Amino acid sequence: MSVLYSLKDVTELVKNLAPRKNILLFYDDLEVKKEILISYLLSSINKGHLGIYIAGEESLKQIEAYIIKHSKELIDKGLLKILDWSLLHHKLHDWRILIEDWGKLIEECLEKNLKSPRVCSEMSALYRYLQSKKLIECEEFLHEKLEILNLGICSYSIKTLVDGKEYDMLDLIRIHEYTIIAGSKGAFFIYHQPYTGIATYQL
């Protein structure tokens, strides 16, 4: 029998996950999505990490306005960066650029005496730029081939889940340790797949 969780349960879960607990989030409500993603980033920042939010479904201004409600100081101090897939998606076609950019973020963390970055991304937007197979390849590269501990949360709208082909969904679940699906009436289903992969690239 499946166990259902509340939004409070989910936000507490994402705040307290240990390294290598990559998360896949399917949602149908933008406010719920932001609450989960920002809860994760704020908790990570409080633990000494650099926080990064990559917008796509919503605009930079919408995400910034939401974050300012919680703590504008984090943005002003450079502890939380807000990026946009519309300006970044071209880099997904060249893994070398991804590695180089990630290396720059690591260097920035070292300069600011911060721990490695924690990232939350609105992945649904990438369906506008990448074919399904390429999107899966990108996810696999980030989660399985790069030695990036506890990278963050990849979020997809429920509409993407419904409209996409079945193998996309199954492949996405396969390469994430946790899958969170927002159900009806505020209930959430959580699936856990223990991490067993071995990274083949290191940074």
* Number of other residues whose CB lies within 10 A of the CB of residue 33: 23
**What pTM did the predictor assign?**
0.86
Examine the pLDDT at 143 and tell me if it is beyond 90.
Answer: no
The model's pLDDT over 37-74, given as tens digits with 9 standing for 90+, comes to 999 999 999 999 999 999 988 988 899 899 888 777 88
CB 24 within 8 Å of CB 176? yes
Residue 200: the pLDDT is 34
Query: What token pair was written down for 90?
Result: 């071209």
Residue 95 vs residue 152, higher pLDDT? 152
201 pLDDT tier (thresholds 50, 70, 90): very low
The span from the CA of 171 to the CA of 110, in Å, is 34
Query: In whole numbers, what is the pLDDT of the chain averaged over residues?
Result: 80
Q: What is the pLDDT of residue 198?
A: 44
Task: List the domains of the chain with CATH numbers.
Answer: 4-192 (3.40.50.300)
Phi, psi of 115 (to 5 degrees): -75, 170
Find out whether 49 and 74 touch, Cβ atoms under 8 Å: no
Contact 101, 73 (CB under 8 A): no
**Cα separation, 156 vs 90, whole angstroms:** 19
Alpha carbon 138 to its chain centroid, in Å, reads: 13
CA 148 and chain centroid, separation: 13
